Amino acid sequence: MKRTWHEMRGFPPAIRLLLINQLGVNTGFYLLIPYLAVHLGEDLGMSAAVVGIVLGVRNLSQQGLFLIGGSAADRLGARGVIIAGCGLRTVGFALFALGDGLAVLLAASILSGLAGALFNPAVRAYLAQEAGDRKAEAFALFNVFATTGALIGPLLGSALLLVDFRASALTAAGIFAVLTAAQAAVLPARTATPTKSSVLGDWREVVSNRVFLAFSLAMVGMYTMENQLYLLLPDGARRATGWDGAAGIVFLVGTAANLTLQLRVTRALKDRGSRSRWITAGLALMGLAFVPPMAVAGLTGPPGSLGAAALRALPVLAGALLLYLGVMIAQPFVMELIPDFGRAELTGTYFGLFYVVSGIAAAVGNTVVGWAMDAGGQDAGWLPWACCLVFGLLSAAGVGWLHKLRALPERAPAGPVAVAA
């Protein structure tokens, strides 16, 4: 933790604010969204179909509009788009607290989803531009703060639910309001460089970059596997130990590992080989992380004693730690690599398209894993874990193939490296 704060102080105030911003963003998001479905179904008495519509609209508004958010950051400047995104999420989360009607809830879902589509690519574009040749370290710190927020959020949300859901929603809205004000007061404005083409022309340029598209498709397994930190691994921990609190231990152990190891891992690897090599290694490790939990995948019910529960939990915790380590290895270099695929004026657009592809992939991947969890049952409890293993190995093979072809941009000391379509 001390090393993290020391490294953070070495960056300019704008990057420090964006790191704290990401901590707040994930805290506010995760203290509300995981409990939204329960509020809609149990508190408001909505049918499962209506709950699915409200949640689906929020997800579609975010995943489908990332490209617009990225283009807005390129053309209008990332600062204004970040502020607008946080402001919209303030309004959207406040509507969840104040409205019970379907129309109000749909408006809240659209606004909160659009907010994420705006500030997610804009924050990363701003960070990449400000960090210069220290992008890997900046994104490593970004990962630390994001992971910490993802742990704090559900814990705070669980405590606030003892009051009611509206307390959670208003607290989340308040966090985003504070972030919006802080960004407006502290975040320096940067003049956007004209792209000298239309928005559609920018999109055509990015979409026609076949190397970038191949890389984005090769990375689809990463986000599917990372999402299992919130789906498959917590479920596996609960099933293995028979204790609902085991899911929290998975998050706690992973966050502690991330805080202590992320910067060390990134610094140790940065100058020892190409980025694509370490991305490939990280993806392979993420896939192999699902092998240890297979040992206890078929176990259900109470383990009989505390010692037996601990033994059952060990393979799941080992898998979680390997998965976190794989993310620590790969993710900073993925974020560092994306701006180097094209012109600096299109950094936001490249991030936007990358997140459109990864968002769709994560949705499809989660559907496959969910199907495998249902289909496997007790007789084939290994099936969802095997699916994730395959996702990881395929993604690693895809990036490894691009690395072998020397298709991916190499790290440059100054300025992005353009890759021909």
pLDDT surpasses 80 at 300: no
Average pLDDT over residues 257-263: 89
Spell out a b/e string for 32-55, using b for 16 or more CB atoms within 10 Å of the CB, else e.
bbebbeebbeeeeebeeebbebbb
Those residues with Cβ within 8 angstroms of residue 15's Cβ, 6 or more apart along the chain or in another chain: 127, 130, 131, 138
Q: How many residues does the chain have?
A: 421
- For the ranges 228-232, 286-290, 297-301, which has the lowest average pLDDT? 297-301
| Per-residue pLDDT tens over the stretch 5-29 | 777 878 888 899 999 999 999 999 9
Q: Is the pLDDT confidence value at 259 over 70?
A: yes
- DSSP of 9-46: HTS-HHHHHHHHHHHHHHHHHHTTGGGHHHIIIIIS--
Single-letter amino acid, residue 69:
G
| pTM score | 0.88
Dihedral of CA atoms 396, 207, 341, 121 in degrees, nearest 10, equals: -90
* Token pair 């409990």: residue: 35
Amino acid 378: pLDDT = 66
- Mean pLDDT over 86-92 rounds to 96
Task: Supply the pLDDT for residue 413.
Answer: 43
Which residue in 7, 13, 16 sits closest to 259, CA to CA? 7
Q: What is the CA radius of gyration of the chain?
A: 21
Higher-scoring residue by pLDDT: 192, 202: 202
d(CA 279, CA 277): 6
Tokens 């993806």, located at residue: 283
Look at 164-173, 181-190, 362-371 and tell me which has the smallest mean pLDDT: 362-371
Q: What is the pLDDT of residue 1?
A: 58
* Helices and strands in the chain: count of H runs, count of E runs: 18, 0
**DSSP labels, 170-239:** HHHHHHHHHHHHHHHHHSPP-PPPP-SS-HHHHHHHHHT-HHHHHHHHHTHHHHHHHHTTTTHHHHHHHH
Percentage above 90 pLDDT, the chain: 52
381-411 pLDDT, tens digit each:
889 999 999 999 999 999 999 999 999 997 6
Question: Cβ neighbours of residue 258 under 8 Å, at least 6 residues apart?
Answer: 143, 144, 147, 148, 324, 328
329 pLDDT higher than 50: yes
359 or 2, which is more confident: 359
Angle at alpha carbon of residue 111, lines to 28 and 171, rounded to 5°: 25
